[in-house]
């Protein structure tokens, strides 16, 4: 099953006792709350590095799926209890954009021009590509062939052996819906997913769910994130990555500061570090598709020469319209 972690970096015990609540002292609060839809391994990297850089700050990083972050920001509005949004899909950032700070002091020229939002209210973090991930050992044990196309996944022999993120809650799930809608047309794409749902064991709430289900032996096939699959494979998990003729879907993820927190120096210091240094570290460890103009990372085992599919018309209004039709969970 999916894991949702609440990870926290706390001030040293002596400071906590002396400066409660929230590690305050000398005037400004030193606590920073971050909401993220990122994967466990990526969150652990961010937290570890923040702990090294800001040992006197009380930094809390809380996992939520993409849609929950946006919904919570909109619900709480100007009184949002979050300071920084990390690893959030662009569509959901656009949904809550009015509550995000304009990042006037950040140099957006370091990023590739075509992935910078016009509003400058969030920064690019990663290009998240999708793929079909299989457990070859399970397929072999069951005497099942390796699928070679999306249509192959409709074979009744795969019933209960497929996991996919729900487009309603996951940016990863939505990118598969968006791409196949573009490639095949809306009617054919929705007809396909209606048929596919007969073979889907579970529509997970987060993009990491299918790979987690593969690792736990719950399914044999997952529609998931290339970066997560590669990370697990580099750690010895026996998985394989497939791309079908339509090419790989992808979505962009970014980072933002809540408008009500932009005047707090500690928040902006942490955000600057996350959005630049640690973003590059994330790219060279997990998500190597280029984000910065002067930085071309490589990740061991990451597929090269990936043919990315048609992700046009990926607007907030179009996303909301398609999700109103999605009822296959």
Closest CA to 74 of 57, 56, 97: 97
Residues 209, 281: one domain? no
Tokens of 185: 């047309």
Residue 294 falls inside a structural domain? no
Residues 17, 75: one domain? yes
**Residues contacting residue 267 through CB under 8 Å, at least 6 positions apart:** 32, 83, 84, 257, 261
pTM, whole model, 2 decimals? 0.79
Half-sphere exposure of 200 (CA within 13 A, CB side): 20
Phi-psi region at 217: left, alpha or beta (left = phi > 0; alpha = psi -120 to 50) = left
Residues 133, 199: one domain? yes
- Please give the angle made by the CA atoms of 116, 119 and 120, to the nearest 5 degrees: 55
pLDDT value of residue 27: 61
Query: 274: which DSSP letter?
Result: I
- Domain carrying residue 46: 6-127+252-285
pLDDT value of residue 39: 87
Residues 69, 168: one domain? no
Residue 260 dihedral angles phi and psi, to the nearest 5°: -70, -10
**Residues contacting residue 151 through CB under 8 Å, at least 6 positions apart:** none
**Residues contacting residue 107 through CB under 8 Å, at least 6 positions apart:** none
pLDDT average per 10 residues of sequence, the chain (329 residues): 42 36 56 94 95 95 92 94 95 93 95 95 95 97 97 98 94 94 97 97 91 96 95 95 96 96 96 97 93 94 92 88 88
Query: What CATH number corresponds to the domain at position 199?
Result: 3.40.190.10
pLDDT value of residue 24: 42
- Please give the angle made by the CA atoms of 322, 246 and 239, to the nearest 5 degrees: 100
Residues 183, 317: one domain? yes
Residues 170, 231: one domain? yes
Total count of domains within the chain: 2
The SS3 call for residue 241 is strand
Instruction: Give the β-pairing of 58-63 and 123-134.
Output: unpaired
pLDDT value of residue 69: 95
**Residues contacting residue 82 through CB under 8 Å, at least 6 positions apart:** 33, 34, 35, 72, 73, 76, 258, 261
Residues 136, 246: one domain? yes
Distance CA 58, CA 60 (A): 7
Closest CA to 266 of 83, 100, 18: 83
pLDDT value of residue 14: 33
Residue 253 dihedral angles phi and psi, to the nearest 5°: -120, 150
Residues 98, 141: one domain? no
């Amino acid at each position: 099953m999916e894991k949702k972690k609440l990870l926290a970096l706390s001030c040293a015990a002596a400071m906590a006792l002396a400066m409660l609540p929230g590690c305050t002292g000398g005037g400004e609060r030193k606590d920073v709350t971050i909401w993220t839809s990122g994967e466990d391994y990526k969150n652990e990297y961010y937290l570890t590095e923040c702990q090294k850089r800001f040992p006197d700050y009380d930094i809390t990083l809380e996992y939520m799926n993409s849609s929950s972050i946006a919904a919570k920001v909109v619900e709480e509005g100007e009184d949002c209890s979050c300071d920084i949004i990390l690893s959030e899909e662009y569509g959901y950032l656009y949904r809550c954009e009015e509550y995000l700070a304009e990042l006037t002091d950040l140099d957006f020229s370091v990023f590739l021009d075509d992935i910078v939002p016009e509003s400058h209210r969030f920064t690019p973090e990663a290009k998240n590509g999708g793929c079909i991930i299989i457990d070859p050992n399970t397929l072999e044990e069951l005497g099942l062939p390796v699928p070679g196309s999306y249509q192959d996944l409709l074979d009744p022999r795969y019933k209960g052996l497929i996991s996919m993120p729900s487009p309603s809650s996951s940016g990863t799930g939505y990118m598969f819906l968006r791409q196949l809608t573009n490639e095949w047309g809306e009617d054919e794409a929705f007809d396909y997913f209606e048929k596919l749902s007969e073979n889907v064991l579970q529509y997970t709430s987060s993009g990491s769910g299918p790979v987690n289900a593969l690792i736990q032996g719950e399914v044999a096939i997952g529609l998931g994130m290339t970066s997560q699959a590669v990370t697990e494979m580099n750690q010895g998990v026996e998985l394989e990555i497939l791309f079908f003729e339509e090419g790989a879907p992808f979505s962009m993820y970014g980072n933002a500061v809540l408008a009500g927190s932009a005047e707090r120096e500690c928040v902006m210091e942490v955000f600057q570090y996350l959005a630049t240094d640690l973003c590059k570290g994330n790219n060279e460890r997990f998500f190597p598709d280029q984000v910065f103009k002067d930085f071309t990372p490589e990740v061991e085992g990451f597929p090269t020469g990936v043919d990315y599919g048609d992700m046009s018309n990926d607007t907030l209004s179009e996303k909301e319209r398609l999700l109103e039709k999605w009822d296959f969970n």
